[in-house]
Structure 1
Amino acid sequence: MNEPLFSLKNRWFTIGVGAVVLVFVLAFLVGLVWLPRAHAQDPNATLWDAICSAAGAPARYQNPALPDEKAVYPSSVIVNSQMMGPVDAASVGRGATLALQCSMCHGARGTASAGTDAPHLAGQPPTSTYKQLRDFKSGHRPSSVMQPLATNLSDQDMHDLAAFYSQQTRETLIQHAALREEVPRLVSNGSPMRNIGACATCHSPGVARAATPVLDGLPEAYLRDQLNAFKSGRRANDINQQMRNAAHQLSEQEVDILAKYYSAR
């Protein structure tokens, strides 16, 4: 007597189901257990960490230079649109005095001298400069130059410096040479298939997103180094890993294109 096709009493159906289950289990063990463990960058990672990583779940960034209770956070700064408050004249005045010790690299008014490869701070949103100073001081953004300088700054000092630089005029090549360079597609549209958002969404001067720098006119070498730092994970003070996730997908040629484009503006 013939058994129903979809019945465990049917030998061939049972064999087929068993084969599918066996293949699934083997694929799971190889793809989510053996391979992640064999290629794990952190030898101390647990099996669960390896499985989560292979499944695409982002791991929390651990900075070994920070205390355990702070190491899992990319920044100690709580970013919001009101984090700085209004910029007043007294704060700008105090910031001008403090900025004298920064002039060797960043220029007297926040425009760095040619050849230093230091970023221009003039015209940067105050929330951006403030956050980076806080991150340098806390160690969330490592720098052999900036960390020692930021260590002795108080929170008010950092507010004042950010306020001063935000009020300075940002020099750009566009203003002087009337350049009209073609906008790279990554800047205007991003690359959605690779989970890369358009750079202009956050970094255009008119967007004024909290704690987000304006990239126009920054030195080419500085831009290239920072993109590569995000790409490799050497720099990891971006909240929610938005820059690391985007830069990780960039090719060397794309990093070069973006650095050249923004430095020429």
Structure 2
Amino acid sequence: MSRSWRMARCWSRTIGTGRSTGSAMASRRRAAALAIFLLGPVQVASAQEGFEAVQEQCVACHGTGVSLTDEVPSLGGIDAYYALLQLVAFRSGNRPGDAMQALTTDLTDNDLRAAAAWIAGLPPPQVPDTPPPPDAEAAALAQEHRCNSCHGADYRGGKQIPPLKNQREDYLRKALLDFKAERRLGSRAAMVEIAQALSEAEIDLLARYLATLP
């Protein structure tokens, strides 16, 4: 047994049985993604071939960095590790999404790693040409719920956290509503708690603010 595989197994066994279902599921997703990263280098030829079979479908919905599809997120600016976490979650069924589950179900670990690397290389969404004037109420709401404590001072995310800046407004709204209704649990229970404390009007306000940040 390789050292990397032992590390991955050891890491996955640290998941406590006393956690909430959402937290335990998120931990299993992180363990699975970590195992994929640790188990040796990508087999470039096979991964490229497997991912290329579905790449056009990725672009058709998500674009090449900026999404032009309603309620479908832009992928530009997302870290490879976070992208891999989400792809693993879709493939396993732990994150809902019929289209993404169908797309990933037959992909190998190497395919997912190739897809994550491609996502990480996409250009991030740009500041709107004519951003609206600063919204003090929305900024205060984001500060109250400490959005920047996880998503970064500039809302560009990180290794395990998605970027929010200039993401599609309708997608941000959908994501928050899904967290609020517990249709999506995320990797941290905090997102459900935060979303459930927001009214729909406040969700609209936050989504518009983050989507149009200068």
User: Under a length normalisation based on structure 1, what TM-score does the superposition of the two structures give?
Assistant: 0.60
Counterpart among 35, 56, 67 of residue 100 in structure 1: 56
CA-CA distance at 1:238 after TM superposition? 2.3
Equivalent residue letter for 1:244: V
CA-CA distance at 1:157 after TM superposition? 1.3
> What pairs up with 1:1-265 in 2 under 5 angstroms?
60-61=20-21, 73-74=25-26, 76-78=28-30, 94=48, 97=52, 98-107=54-63, 109-113=64-68, 115-174=69-128, 176-177=129-130, 181-182=134-135, 184-187=139-142, 189-190=143-144, 196=145, 198-204=146-152, 208-239=157-188, 241-265=189-213
Tell me which structure has the larger Cα radius of gyration. 1
CA-CA distance at 1:244 after TM superposition? 0.8
Separation in structure 2 between the aligned mates of residue 125 and residue 262 of structure 1, nearest angstrom: 18
Any conservation in 1 of the 2:91–2:104 contact (CA below 8 Å)? yes
Unaligned runs of 5+ in 1: 1-57, 63-70, 191-195
Structure 2 residue matching 1:77: 3-state secondary structure: helix
CA-CA distance at 1:155 after TM superposition? 1.5
Any conservation in 2 of the 1:75–1:140 contact (CA below 8 Å)? no
Separation in structure 1 between the aligned mates of residue 169 and residue 157 of structure 2, nearest angstrom: 22
Aligned to 1:27: none
Change (3 A) 1:185 1:102: same
Change (3 A) 1:137 1:102: same
Separation in structure 2 between the aligned mates of residue 181 and residue 169 of structure 1, nearest angstrom: 25
Separation in structure 1 between the aligned mates of residue 200 and residue 132 of structure 2, nearest angstrom: 25
Separation in structure 2 between the aligned mates of residue 206 and residue 171 of structure 1, nearest angstrom: 12
Structure 2 residue matching 1:73: 3-state secondary structure: helix
Unaligned runs of 5+ in 2: 1-17
Change (3 A) 1:157 1:250: same
| Structure with the largest fraction of helix | 2
Separation in structure 2 between the aligned mates of residue 144 and residue 96 of structure 1, nearest angstrom: 19
Choose between structure 1 and 2 for higher RCO, CA contacts under 8 A separated by at least 6 residues: 2
User: Under a length normalisation based on structure 2, what TM-score does the superposition of the two structures give?
Assistant: 0.72
Q: In percent, how many aligned pairs have the same letter?
A: 28
Any conservation in 1 of the 2:78–2:157 contact (CA below 8 Å)? no
Separation in structure 2 between the aligned mates of residue 206 and residue 243 of structure 1, nearest angstrom: 15
Aligned to 1:53: none
Q: Kindly report the root-mean-square deviation, in angstroms, between the aligned alpha carbons of the 2 structures.
A: 3.4
Equivalent residue letter for 1:256: D
CA-CA distance at 1:182 after TM superposition? 3.5
Aligned to 1:51: none
Separation in structure 2 between the aligned mates of residue 138 and residue 246 of structure 1, nearest angstrom: 26
